[in-house]
Chain A
Amino acid sequence: MNARRVRAIAFKEALQVWRDPRSLAVALLMPFMQLILLGYGVSLDIKHVPLCVYDQEMSQQSRTVVDGFLSSGWFSLARALPNEAAIRTAMNRDQCSAVLVIPADFSRRLAMTGRATVQGIFDATDVNTTNIAMGYAEGATARLASEFESKYAAAHGVEPSAVGSVDLEPSTWFNETLDSRNFIIPGVVAVILALVGAQLTSLTISREWERGTMEQLISTPVTTLELMAGKLIPYFAIGLIDAAFCLGAAIFWFKVPFRGDLFTLFVTTALFILVVLGFGYLISVRVRSQLGASQIALLVTLLPTTLLSGYTFPIDQMPAPIRAISLVVYARYYVSILRGLFLKGSGLAGLAVPFAGLCVSALVILWLAARAFHKRLD
């Protein structure tokens, strides 16, 4: 390795990126757009489910029920319905995905027996959303029930526990403090870095072939290792900037709690960037057109990273063969490291397994990348 030649290649590459709007856009604009798309677009939380209310009683009690639903933050009032027929109309017109029906005898039953029923109607076309909304409804009902229960007990001079007949603990309990965003965003950061990193370097060798500069370059004494090192250095710097941007946005914009230490974050992030850049470089060596290389880099990174990295779908729920395949999806190691760092505050020791996985990925990919390039035209 001749430091001067590495520096020359790195300098030249940096100048080219700086002067190439397409590379600059990939380097700086792409992470920003993906962060917005993935950070906001992908959320397993459902907030403000549009709710129509058909309050047959219109009493103070029934209004308490409605307020209880709305104050939870999970539902927002779409419309108040005047009659039964309006329910179907509202559903058909997609004005709401849930309807709360409070029967006319709600207060009377509650006063007499201490028990009353409200009806929840859910638009089940989107099963997933419905399940979540139903969970929310149960949660809201449960809270209301416990309020009514204590009132009833107080009014009838019995101990609340003696009422007992109402079991108000719903079986599907959604923990409202668990914001899925905390879980998703670290994964989003990993996906973005994997995508952008591979895109960046996928162009670097193919550009030389396409523009006809490779022939002269390989006639010089520069070695393949010097070429790779020199080419990766500027993209490594860009990758670190992108990582700082994404991680900063995760912490300060999306307010994901960060409980780990910055040193571990830096080391693992730097290592991950090296892996994704090496991967893009490997593709670039193999595919001699820029368009082809960038398409392949996108395809080969996007699907495995989103599906098999554990970023949305938990790996331990996957069938064994898929789990085995996911071992080579190097993004999964960084996803677990980031989750550990953000949510659990794990140190490097606690992250030994994914860290080892990342190290092995780095060694394998950089080794393959270094061997892939030959200074020959054929």
Chain B
Amino acid sequence: MVEARSLAKTFGSVAAVRSATFAVSRGEIFGLVGPDGAGKTTIMRMLAGVLRPDQGEILVDGVEVLREPERAKRHLSYMPQRFGLYEDLTVGENIFFYGELFGVTKAERLERTSRLLDAAGLVPFQRRLAGQLSGGMKQKLGLICALVHTPAVLLLDEPTTGVDPVSRREFWSILYDLRETGVTILLSTAYMDEAERCSRLALLSAGEIRYCDTPARLKEQMPGALVSIPSGEPRRLRALLSGQPGVLGVLLMGDRVHVRVDDRDRRTPELVRLLAAQGLAGALVEPAEPGIEDVFVALLGEREAA
């Protein structure tokens, strides 16, 4: 459904995207994950046909984006990272405007609008100016405007950044419904819990796709195993454990510390003893399943993933 082959884009002397190749099939929710500046937005813009790559090819729904960007645009909807709607227009007027641009019939527009507004919890705000909506409502409105026609491909650039948890849940439930109807969704995100919800992920670092697989298989690729230690002083613990024999990496996860070790059965008692020697007797060292963040840091290294 979406295919990118050796995409590259340089801004001045900075290579924003080096050589990105990936393919997304129909009905997938494909996530581009990476730190700020990894090239997520640049890839999104190239896919949307608003930025020309220096080299490479893009196919969206069978249309070559570089050769026929305008035809490709009829098959896709793009929601930029920065809120792209008119703040001096109301919710209803924004939806109407985008519906007209995509040639949606009135009946379709009304049907979809009422369904989407309902799902997004925006029904009472139809006559409110978009500029007076909260961050989460703005993003949901952006999604509605992107969905007022039936795109084959939906491109969402960090759609839930700055969005409250309730709105995020609503947002994702709309995305899951969409996937059921066969829409292909590409989204970029810096949230690891969100990455976990995608059917496939591309891990981006410094303009390159370093790994691309399902979340489950990415976890299998993680070298070593994980133990989790709850702690009131996670930073002290990290300093203590880093560089110990068998410890491959230490990651702070709120009030816990994730320690990646080469051999869990062998290192767990060693860690317990070490902590006891440091006056932390009775510390719990529990086996843990890796999250995407653990995988990401393990695969890309702490500095690149930060």
Contact = CB atoms under 8 A, between A and B. Distances in A.
Chains A and B come from one and the same complex: yes
Interface of A: 2, 4-5, 7-9, 11-12, 15-16, 19-20, 211-223, 375-378
B83 A12 contact: no
Nearest to A12: B97
A220 B50 contact: no
Given A212-B80, A376-B51, A377-B50, A221 B102 contact: yes
Given A212-B80, A378-B52, A220 B98 contact: yes
A15 B83 contact: no
A5 B74 CA distance: 13
B217 to A, nearest CB: 32
Contacts, number: 81
B101 A219 contact: no
B80 A8 contact: no
B60 to A, nearest CB: 12
Contacts of B87: 211
27 contacts: A2-B103, A4-B100, A4-B103, A5-B101, A7-B100, A8-B96, A8-B100, A9-B101, A12-B93, A12-B97, A15-B88, A16-B86, A20-B88, A212-B84, A213-B85, A215-B45, A216-B84, A216-B85, A217-B84, A218-B50, A219-B78, A219-B80, A220-B102, A221-B102, A375-B69, A375-B70, A376-B52
A215 B50 CA distance: 7
A218 B98 CA distance: 12
B49 interface: yes
Interface in B104-143: 142
Nearest to B94: A12
B50 A376 contact: yes
A8 to B, nearest CB: 3
Contacts of A378: 51-52
A8 B82 CA distance: 23
Interface string B50-88: 111000000000000000011001101111101111111
B93 A213 contact: no
A190 B85 CA distance: 37
A46 B245 CA distance: 99
Contacts of A7: 100
A214 B76 CA distance: 16
A255 B88 CA distance: 42
B86 A220 contact: no
A216 B70 CA distance: 13
B52 A221 contact: no
A153 to B, nearest CB: 80
A377 B45 contact: yes
Contacts of A219: 48-50, 73, 76-78, 80
B89 interface: yes
Given A15-B88, A221-B101, 7 more contacts: A4-B103, A8-B101, A9-B101, A20-B88, A212-B84, A216-B85, A217-B84
A214 B84 CA distance: 7
Nearest to B80: A215
A216 B78 contact: yes
B51 A221 contact: no
B181 to A, nearest CB: 21
Contacts of B76: 219
Contacts of A19: 88
Interface in B21-64: 45, 48-52
Contacts of A2: 103
A218 B103 CA distance: 15
A5 B50 CA distance: 19
Nearest to B70: A221
A221 B99 CA distance: 11
Nearest to B9: A378
A4 B83 CA distance: 25
B228 to A, nearest CB: 41
A217 B50 CA distance: 10
Nearest to B100: A8
Contacts of A221: 70, 73-74, 101-103
Contact of B89 (A15, A216, A220, A222): A15
Task: List the 5 shortest-distance A-B pairs measured between CB atoms, nearest first.
Answer: A216-B84, A8-B100, A219-B78, A215-B80, A212-B82
A354 B196 CA distance: 69
Nearest to B86: A213
Contact of A212 (B52, B83, B89): B83
Contacts of A211: 86-87
Contacts of A376: 50-52
A219 B156 CA distance: 12
Nearest to A220: B101
A132 B4 CA distance: 78
A12 B101 CA distance: 11
Contacts of A220: 73, 98, 101-102
A215 B82 contact: yes
Contacts of B142: 216
Nearest to B51: A377
Contacts of A222: 101
A5 B88 CA distance: 19
Nearest to A222: B101
Nearest to B74: A221
Contacts of B97: 8, 11-12
A219 B87 CA distance: 18
Contacts of B51: 376-378
A252 B62 CA distance: 64
A206 to B, nearest CB: 15
B34 to A, nearest CB: 20
Contacts of B74: 221
A16 B93 CA distance: 11
A93 B121 CA distance: 77
A12 B102 contact: no
Most chain A beta-carbon neighbours within 10 Å: one of B51, B77, B88, B103? B88
B216 to A, nearest CB: 33
Contacts of B83: 212
A217 B101 CA distance: 9
Nearest to B96: A8
A355 B172 CA distance: 61
Contacts of B49: 219
A243 B73 CA distance: 40
